Structure 1
Amino acid sequence: MPKSYSAMMRAIAVDNSLPIEKAAVDLWLKDLNNPLRWIVRPVLQLIFVMLLHLVWLFKRLPLPAFSAHQSLQKLICWFCIHFVKKEANLLILRHYATESNVLNFLIENSHHRERDTLTPVAPVNLYPKTIKDMLGASFVDHDQCLFDTFADLGPWEKRHHPKTDIKWEYWQPIQMDEFEVEERWTQCLDFESAHALFMCLFCLLLTKEEYRDAINGFNLDQSLAIRIGQIIGDPSLSNMAYNQYPLYFVGPWNLGQRFLMHGFFTEHLYAELESYRTRGEKRK
């Protein structure tokens, strides 16, 4: 444990009360310990939060709608490769994997009905291993997979007893050595500072509906936790969801915190399910 860690950070480093993998905790603490987070991030957030609301207003003017998904993804990947710290890039790649696994677990273990005919819902296949992989596995696709999963599964059939035949065919345990992130001397920004810079670009280069849906998609965390909690018989999972009540649409205010808490939620839920899976394998 680095000597530069504060007393609070040393406590967090060994606290395993919440389900979260040590690899994610180590990356996050290293990211928190970046001095620029405490110097640059507050300034960036102050400036770009105001700019974000101006862009949000601009996109809602009665003007022709426009979007530029490929340009957005190319700019983000280029920026991440050159200016975002390695640990922050690894956290981004982990988030793709954690959310894809959570959605695939739900898909594989739900009863669903599509167009009134029982058909399988396609699994999510967004598991980028490098930042360049995200050119194909775009952030837009990442959001759309979440919405499509809920739409394709249809109304939830509430369970009163845990599922006994849990399936894991689509599950891909996260192996940190599979991720490849090149370190460069120009990489200096932490996760939250990078997000402060990205959020205005997202708002500008997505349509107003795409961006509104993306920042409100976090509220489906509660629904995910409720459904998965009923599948494995653990209703306490819903307590992990900071973002709740998907019927209540909000604007970009407090976006940085809501975005970050969504990341923690998926890490917690992934770790809980991975622990559940490994316990099941040991019992066999």
Structure 2
Amino acid sequence: MTDFLNIETHDSRDPNPWLAMYLDTSIDINKKTKEALMRDNDSKAKRYLFPIVWFSSKVSMFFIHVFKFFFPKLINSSKILHRILAWGLKNFVSADANLLIFRHFHVGSEILQFIAGNIDGIEMKTSPLKPKNFEDVKDDLFLDHDLNLYNFVINLNHQLQTHQVHIQKKEQLNLSMISEDQFDHIDFPDKWTNVLDLRSAIELFTPFYQLFLTANDFVRASNSLQLDETIAIYTSQILGTPGHIGLVNNRHPMVPVTTYSAAFRLVLHGLAAESLHEVLVKIKQGIPRDGVVLPENGTVQV
């Protein structure tokens, strides 16, 4: 464990805010994820490099926005974009930030699988994205993540309306798709060039995302973050408790937000997914959370 995350290093006259967040248990989150996130927040890159990257990103996005207005189809290649992303992640992003990014696809996929597997009267096929290496990133990983989310919402609600069923509290939860381990993460590179923190990496990659995708793809990706509220509602209906909606910050998907805030909202999106997934992990382990009481007669399928 990093020294600053050790209570023995605590100085009451100069408390480390990330030690406070690390020790706090009010928000459910995987332990290794939490350690990585706190180290990432405390990194030198986050302190000194991020403000420069943030400003440069916003300026670049403005000029790309103007460029795309006049030449909407001149540059459009998801393949090139994802090769750039894979190269950038491998060579410039820190091991902690890579861990958080790769985990997100596993966590998000399992949450959608949980919803699909716990609604009676429908049959949903999901397309899990569980990258194991940087080569997997090249297969349109980030774009497919956004497409999967919208297609899931569309297909789910089409079936609900077609079969005239509603999402209701599930008495016997199916948690077989929820992983309790670390998803067999790869050994992320930790060379001297791997310095970018999570926020800096996302801010740096966002203009590339905007440049190499169509306007529809980029705007849809930005708006998909507000589906956090939708997914949280589905899960809360299945669990029979509204408590999990409280930690969602990306809300109101019918009222889109400017794409200039996409990078920050993407980090919130990741935190919401991690928190919701950890709630499901604890339920699978038999630890009741937020009003979800597990019966003693074994009503959780693992």
TM-score (norm 2): 0.85
Q: Identity, % of aligned pairs?
A: 25
Indicate if the aligned counterparts of 2:175 and 2:280 stay in contact, CA closer than 8 A. Answer: no
Q: 56, 72, 76: which one pairs with 2:85?
A: 76
Indicate if the aligned counterparts of 1:99 and 1:266 stay in contact, CA closer than 8 A. Answer: yes
Give a deviation string over 1:49-106, Cα, whole Å, max 9, x none: 1211221232233644652111111111111111111111011111111111111111
Aligned to 2:201: 194
1:106 aligns with 2:121: no
Distance 1:38 1:82, change over 3 A: same
Q: Mark the runs of 5 or more structure 1 residues left unpaired by the alignment.
A: 113-117
Measured in 2, the distance between the counterparts of 1:206 and 1:170 equals: 32
Indicate if the aligned counterparts of 1:129 and 1:180 stay in contact, CA closer than 8 A. Answer: no
User: 130-139 or 255-264: which moved more?
Assistant: 130-139
Aligned to 1:121: 124
Which secondary structure state, in structure 1, belongs to the residue aligned with residue 174 of structure 2? coil
1:130 Cα deviation after fit:
2.0
TM-score (norm 1): 0.90
Aligned to 1:240: 247
Aligned to 1:167: 174
Aligned to 2:289: none
Q: 215, 224, 228: which one pairs with 1:217?
A: 224
1:177 Cα deviation after fit:
4.5
Indicate if the aligned counterparts of 2:79 and 2:140 stay in contact, CA closer than 8 A. Answer: no
Count of residue pairs the alignment pairs up:
277
1:231 aligns with 2:238: yes
RMSD, matched Cα? 2.2
Q: 140, 143, 167: which one pairs with 1:140?
A: 143
Indicate if the aligned counterparts of 1:31 and 1:87 stay in contact, CA closer than 8 A. Answer: yes
Which secondary structure state, in structure 1, belongs to the residue aligned with residue 285 of structure 2? helix
Indicate if the aligned counterparts of 1:241 and 1:265 stay in contact, CA closer than 8 A. Answer: yes
Give a deviation string over 1:164-213, Cα, whole Å, max 9, x none: 12223433444254433132222111111111110000001111001000
Give a deviation string over 1:23-56, Cα, whole Å, max 9, x none: 1110001111211211111011112112112212
Distance 1:123 1:37, change over 3 A: same
1:125 Cα deviation after fit:
2.0
Which secondary structure state, in structure 1, belongs to the residue aligned with residue 127 of structure 2? coil
Indicate if the aligned counterparts of 1:30 and 1:87 stay in contact, CA closer than 8 A. Answer: yes
Indicate if the aligned counterparts of 2:72 and 2:214 stay in contact, CA closer than 8 A. Answer: no
Q: Mark the runs of 5 or more structure 2 residues left unpaired by the alignment.
A: 6-14, 287-293
Measured in 2, the distance between the counterparts of 1:8 and 1:24 equals: 17
